[in-house]
Each structure stands twice: as structure tokens, then as C-alpha cells.
Amino acid sequence: MGAPRSCPDNFAWVFMRDPAYWRAVGTTFMPTITSAAVMALVFWLLFNVYNGEINRFLMFFGLIKEPVS
């Protein structure tokens, strides 16, 4: 009987070779992360200081004088 593998290596290896783990990552974790990243990008584009659509809209109607940072 050989020496047992260390716990962190064995723990990671058990999950990485399990197809149910990858199925769970692909169906629950990735859509959550992807949608959060897309929403962050959309809000960053809308509220960008110099060329964001919200700042442009508010400045066009004269509600603000300079972009909101």
C-alpha cells in the first residue's frame, strides 16, 4: 500500500474527474457568472463618465451641466 495522497490534491481530483461536477458547473455556475458580467458591462456602458448614455441624456435635456462621475 502506497503513501496516501495529500488531502487538497485528492479532494480536487475527485471533483475534477466527476462528470456531474462539470454538468453542475455548466448549468448553474456559468450562467450566473456570465449574466452578472454582462449586466456589469451594460451598467458600466450606460453610466460611463464621459460618453455614457445616461450622462448624455441628462446633459442633452439640461438637467446637469457636467457629467456625473
pLDDT tens digit string along 1-24? 555 555 556 667 776 777 887 888
Query: Is the full-model pTM beyond 0.75?
Result: no
45: which residues sit within 8 A by CB, 6+ positions away? 52, 53
d(CA 54, CA 40) in angstroms, rounded, equals 15
* pLDDT value, residue 2: 52
* pLDDT value, residue 67: 83
Domain layout of the chain by residue ranges: 7-60
| Mean pLDDT, residues 13-36 taken together | 83
* pLDDT value, residue 19: 82
Give 39 or 31, the one with higher predicted confidence: 39
d(CA 67, CA 51) in angstroms, rounded, equals 9
Give 4 or 44, the one with higher predicted confidence: 44
